[in-house]
A and B are shown apart, each in its own frame.
Chain A
Amino acid sequence: MALIKDGSPAWLVLADGQVFKGRSFGETGTVIGEVVFTTGMTGYQETLTDPSYYGQIVTQTFPLIGNYGVNSQDFESTQSYVSGYIVREWCNAPSNFRSEDSIDHFLKRHHIIGLCGIDTRRLTRSLREAGVMNGAITTSDPTEIMDTLLSQIRAYSIVDAVKTVTGTESHTYTPDNVKYRVVLLDFGYKRYIRKSLMNRACEVIVVPAGTTAEEIAAIAPDGIMLSNGPGDPAENTQVIENLKSIAKLGIPIFGICLGHQLMALAMGAKTEKLHYGHRGANQPVIDLVSGKTYVTSQNHGYAVVGDTLDKSVGEVSHINANDKSCEGIRYTAVNAFTVQFHPEAHGGPLDTAYLFDEFTSRMDAYKEGK
């Protein structure tokens, strides 16, 4: 009850001039970002801590958020990367045995500006029609400063995304028994990628995004994992250059999300910005080899243009069942396979976790051949 009537006013201003008035939660102030929506009905804590959302104001289409609170085990990174957070209603009395805090406190602690009490479906439909749009959440009445604010909003773009979220030094994570050694290139990786590897007896060495082929070769890993991450893949020119050399090492490579896009760019394909992206836990992906469709977790605004991939380099292995966009590539020229979706899930379905097993099989083969 406290929720629906309390909370000072807050506004969302979109680049096209639309204004949504709601109430504030989390931090107060003004923030500008790219406004996107995600349709996942659970997994808000994972969303809030997924570095891929850097620079974005995330809208939850499910109206009741925070029901099971926030716990310390389900974070996908150490902090929250979203610029702002929009929900219809947040829950101030979460109920779950693992809950340690409310989402409101979480946002306050991480200085994330939140907006609640707006018609999130209207916003979602706007974004769907117009495409991703910049916008601002503000807790002070924007009427007077509308023109200035709008020009700031329109001028905004996400830059240096990977540079901002990647770690500066490498860390090694060792599970109880070690069978493989994997280098995880950190473009803003989600913890569960690391965990999925460790669960499969991989020692994981997380290295900064800018790590070169030579540096990796020096570690002598059995496999290389290209992580997810935020922003426009094409802006990472140095990383793309590095990947060309890394691919030549012959070490098995598995890429996820941004890692998939960067690999494709390194191999000569192109990426494009999607109209409003794929964000949610219900995206159907067809595995073109088996013919089976899998429900996947996704979070991306850019995609590889399948047709731009040279057939001699590799083949599109997965497509999105809805818009037929490229969801995965198996390279023939180099020892790599990559997917656009998130087989590590968290949040979202675990149906494609078998891809990590494929990665370990490739590592087995690689080790045998060594």
Chain B
Amino acid sequence: MPLRSDIKKVLVIGSGPIVIGQAAEFDYAGAQACRALKQEGLEVVLINSNPATIMTDKAMADHIYIEPLTLDTVKRVIEIEKPDSVLSTLGGQTGLTLSMQLAAEGFLDSHNVKLLGANPETIHKAEDRQAFKDTMEKIGEPCIPSKVVETVEDAVDFAKVISYPVIVRPAFTLGGTGGGIANNEDELRDIATNGLRLSPITQVLIEKCISGWKEIEFEVIRDSKGNVITVCSMENFDPVGVHTGDSIVIAPAVTLSDREYQMLRTASLNIISELKVEGGCNCQFALHPESMEYAVIEVNPRVSRSSALASKATGYPIAKVATRIAIGYTLDEIINQVTGKTYACFEPALDYVVIKFPKWAFDKFVYAKRTLGTQMKATGEVMAIGTSFEQAMMKAVRSTELGVDSMNMKKFEEMSVEQLLEHVRKGVEDERSFEVFALLKKGVSIQKIHEITLIDEWFLDKLLNLVELENWLAEGELTEEKYSIAKQYGYLDSTIERISGQKCPIHQSAVYKMVDTCAGEFKAETPYFYSTYDEENEAKQFMERTDKGRKKVIVFGSGPIRIGQGIEFDYCSVHCVWTLKSLGYEAIICNNNPETVSTDFDTGDRLYFDPLTPEDVDNIIETEKPYGVVVQFGGQTAIKLTRHLADSGVNILGTSADNIDAAEDRERFDELLEQCGIPRPEGFTVMTTKEAIKVADKLGYPVLLRPSYVLGGQNMIIAHSDQDVVEYMDIITSHMIENPVLIDKYMMGTEVEVDAICDGTDFLIPGIMEHIERAGVHSGDSISVYPAQNLSAKVRETIIEYTRRLSLALHVIGLVNIQYVVYRGEVYVIEVNPRSSRTVPYISKVTGIPMVDIATKILFGATLKELGYKSGLYPEGDYVAVKVPVFSFEKLQDVDTMLGPEMKSTGECLGIGHNFEDALLKGLVAAGYDLKREGGVLISVRDSEKREIVPIAEKFSRMGFDLYATSGTASYLNRNMIATNTVRKISEGSPNTIDLLESGKIHYMISTSAKGRMPARDSVKMRRKSIERSICSLTAVDTANALANVLLSGRSMDDVKLVDITKI
């Protein structure tokens, strides 16, 4: 059936802020959906609260609402825009849940809106645990013995029947939030209590634990005609027990014989047909390693993280096809874009293997529990394509930017076999594959490792191949043969030289193979390549065939999503590519993140899916011979390449390598500031703990410590005492960070941030942003307000002037991001990044200035004047925009939620309004703040903030909240005539703060402490408890004050207008 004639205007619901379990893959899916809809000539309305996305870009939809993803807001958008349909299956769990609620309430029917992509019955059957079990039973698909329970007692009773260990899976939660494995009754009581609370329908599944079974996934697509295909199979490196989002995954499945493969494939088709899904679907199975017994674990009746991976792994655009199916097409009518000749109704054949490797934030959260289980913890992932498992694994490892270029990790090398075995026995952690590699290298047998880890011997044998290769490299002469084999196994020249201790006898460059969905069976013109060491370079042939004489420009992407480097850099890279194409250049993308729009093969003119290390990049440059390269849009990942590229004589478009270095090198930067006459907080560089203490004493506490090259405030703290400095330096040295440590005087002022565009002569500031939290809270974790609300004319002028001086002195060509602190009326510079930043997408959207587009044009010689912009600050618009950070703390056990100089947020939301209060209200609602107007407020703040908390407490008191505080804070407040109940500290026995938080009386907690991080500390325990109980936890007095003001205003979402940003 072709396009349904009753569809003209479609509402697409996005997935909101990036959180663990719901990341950039939904921007990719949503963007593909919007494009597919527009190509069909449909009018597209979009709602998504995440401003860093590409899908919220003007090019993507006709009407765009960056508004909270709440039921009420979506209803209002439907009332305003009157779409005839809503597409529910491309905005992750968030979009799906909202759509189902709209349908269930009858709202869609009463407004004549059709639900596309899923029907409520399908979703109910797939997502309601009992309905799912019943459905599977009906079609004879086996499930794991399990029972849905609604009370802890029922959970315990059932566990007695099926015996421990059991898995707890809460219904309708993201990425398995609140789930876990219980080995005994005590553990079960804990996990089940929490899981029941987190489940929106107070339901958990208690399930027999089948750890050790193989975990296999199939991506399946079905259309309204009943045509069904599988796009890709995937096998997890880690057996059942570790969330698939936290597993290393290989595609296609490798240890299954055709019998097993077809058995599970057929089961997938039966399931999707019974559920009547029209679109994409993900089926997860557990397969007994010693028999043909299997069980269905889970079905996701929508586009998911796995479908993004399957799309990139095969070249089959699942989201696009699913969208077309949703609007009426069938698989046999949709052309396979890759071959241009064949149809979407086929199954891709791979002639390579793909490995997905997750990226975790444990480098930032040093006290977080690293154990992996049923609850996903990874923030992002990389994908690597190779002609062998070993090659793909080596590529994956270096793409994750863990600071290693092979499977060797120093800390495991240094452990004894016994220590390692003990560590491995304790449970699966994020570095499991490296531990296993170390064990193999120390001569422990595959059999023994398999017995402990239950990882399939096939994977262990492949890792052993790498061990044997390394041993071979290390002995005797490094011959050409050895070198060449090491290259095929995916080793870099530098790694080969390190392991062998010898110079490489020759240098071999990579060749590129095409990803074509059909293993070469049909002629394809997909501009999608990966490197290998082989005989034929298809990229070169492709270029010769398609050469139009245009200049080629390579844009380096930003790698995996992590805290501090998120989706915003993908937004920038993609925009740069679009502009390059419009300028008539051939735009080439290099990146390794399967969740993104940049790695869609039709975004640029060519895509190289490969790691972003110097040698990998050199190979691409050798094949492409570009006119120039762009590094300023790919975050720190791309910027890190600059020096190497410049040394190799590559033409770096934009700010030069030397000037980037001048901004990053402390001494050179100090010199530059002196020349410009710009002050910065006093500071020094140190290498040892002793030096650090000396300098800290000289500056006077508090001081700010950080490594000299930073990313998202990685490993940055504010130290209040010698003890803090010692603790910090210990962590830094244990992380083998060899760069010096910077110590600065910490100034507790207002933080101001500026993104500017400079052409070498003129500069343009689209807007000045002011942070609600004072300096000391990382800019990524601060609530940021555009335009700045509280700056004096003089300060504003100073900031503009400093920005001018810095941009010109650094010879910035393109984008620059500058952070200032305003302290006692003076402006100081904290940091200058001559590259795009986290705030570029949102500022572009609210000011209407296409920053990346302008910057890209400037890279090629355009001037701001020519482009019609005056030098200086762009006039402020009619709207105020407030960016509110979003955290994933409920997924990360033991992480202190207290905000500080180290970034902790995973995503962000935007509130846009006619005034500050409205914008903040929207931002907070979008970020998930409940904004309850009654109940209890628990306050416990450090001494230095007791005075400041008084007016805030007074506001809550005035609004009728009951105040509670720990003894110190309580007596301070009571002395200031604010009636406050005193609560015992944890150590003072029950009932104490924890009991109070458990009681359900508390709706807000304001908690700050002089020290944090250590999970054992009282304040950290309180903050963790509030996260577990979903209590709004405020860890900065400024945030608390802003929130109190919003509550005090008495306004709610009903009082504020929704804004279509295409009309700004």
Contacts and interface: CB of A to CB of B under 8 A. Distances in A.
Contacts of A335: none
B227 A43 contact: no
A213 interface: no
Contact of B534 (A46, A73, A122): A122
Contacts of B289: 97
A39 B521 contact: yes
24 contacts: A1-B466, A1-B472, A5-B481, A39-B520, A43-B258, A63-B388, A64-B254, A74-B258, A74-B259, A93-B461, A94-B458, A95-B461, A96-B256, A125-B520, A128-B522, A283-B346, A293-B332, A293-B345, A321-B342, A321-B343, A322-B343, A322-B346, A322-B522, A345-B262
A42 B331 CA distance: 24
A292 B225 contact: yes
Most buried by B among A74, A291, A292: A292
Contact of B521 (A120, A280, A284, A321): A280
A68 interface: yes
Interface residues of A, number: 59
A121 B536 contact: yes
A123 to B, nearest CB: 9
A98 interface: yes
A62 B519 contact: yes
A40 B291 CA distance: 23
A63 B387 contact: yes
A321 B346 contact: yes
Contacts of B351: 39, 61-63, 120-121, 124
A349 B262 contact: yes
Interface in B198-234: 225-230
B388 A95 contact: no
Interface string B510-548: 000100001111110000000000111000000000000
Given A5-B481, A42-B256, A295-B229, A321 B345 contact: yes
B340 to A, nearest CB: 12
Contacts of B536: 119, 121-122, 125
Contacts of A350: 262, 266
B120 to A, nearest CB: 26
B499 interface: no
A67 B262 CA distance: 16
A228 B258 CA distance: 20
A238 to B, nearest CB: 35
A118 B388 CA distance: 13
A4 interface: yes
Interface in A163-220: none
A305 interface: no
B349 A42 contact: no
Contacts of B458: 67, 91, 93-95
B258 A62 contact: no
B255 A95 contact: yes
B914 interface: no
Contacts of B5: none
Contact of A88 (B228, B258, B387): B387
Contact of A4 (B252, B260, B488): B488
A41 interface: yes
Given A88-B387, A119-B534, A124-B351, A68 B256 contact: yes
B346 A124 contact: no
B388 A89 contact: yes
B465 interface: yes
B864 to A, nearest CB: 48
A39 B387 contact: no
A55 interface: no
A325 to B, nearest CB: 13
The 6 closest A-B pairs by CB, nearest first: A1-B468, A95-B458, A347-B258, A43-B258, A61-B519, A39-B349
Contacts of A1: 464-466, 468-469, 472
Given A62-B351, A93-B457, A119-B536, A45 B258 contact: yes
B254 A61 contact: no
B523 A128 contact: yes
Contact of A292 (B226, B261, B468, B523): B226
A346 interface: yes
B265 interface: yes
B141 interface: no
A23 B42 CA distance: 56
Given A62-B349, A121-B519, 4 more contacts: A4-B485, A61-B520, A98-B257, A293-B332
A284 B343 contact: yes
A368 B732 CA distance: 85
A286 interface: yes
Contact of A97 (B290, B347, B389, B488): B290
A71 interface: yes
Nearest to B347: A282
Contacts of A63: 351-353, 387-388
Given A42-B261, A128-B522, A286-B332, A64 B388 contact: yes
A41 B128 CA distance: 35
Interface in A313-370: 321-322, 345-351
Given A89-B388, A119-B536, A282 B332 contact: no
B246 interface: no
Contacts of B226: 292
Interface in B312-357: 331-332, 341-343, 345-353
B269 A292 contact: no
A45 B230 CA distance: 22
Nearest to A321: B343
A284 B257 contact: no
Contacts of B916: none
Given A89-B388, A122-B535, A282 B346 contact: yes
Contacts of B332: 284, 286, 293, 321
Given A124-B520, A295-B229, A349 B265 contact: yes
A59 to B, nearest CB: 10
Interface in B236-279: 252, 254-262, 265-266, 269
B894 interface: no
Contact of A68 (B257, B291, B472, B489): B257
Contacts of A349: 262, 265-266, 347
A121 B348 CA distance: 15
B283 to A, nearest CB: 15
B650 to A, nearest CB: 29
Contacts of A284: 229, 332, 342-343, 345-346
B918 interface: no
Contacts of B345: 284, 293, 321
A88 B352 CA distance: 10
A97 B521 contact: no
B456 interface: yes
B538 to A, nearest CB: 8
Given A5-B485, A97-B290, A280 B349 contact: yes
Given A61-B519, A283-B346, A322-B343, A348 B262 contact: yes
A97 B291 contact: yes
Most buried by A among B260, B342, B458: B458
A73 B350 CA distance: 26
A266 B331 CA distance: 35
Most buried by A among B256, B347, B457, B518: B347
Contacts of B343: 284, 293, 321-322
Interface string B819-859: 00000000000000000000000000000000000000000
B56 to A, nearest CB: 36
A348 B461 contact: no
A120 B176 CA distance: 42
A42 B342 contact: no
A67 B227 contact: no
Contacts of B256: 42, 68, 96
Nearest to B464: A1
Contacts of A283: 346
Given A61-B519, A96-B255, A98-B257, A41 B349 contact: yes
A351 B346 CA distance: 13
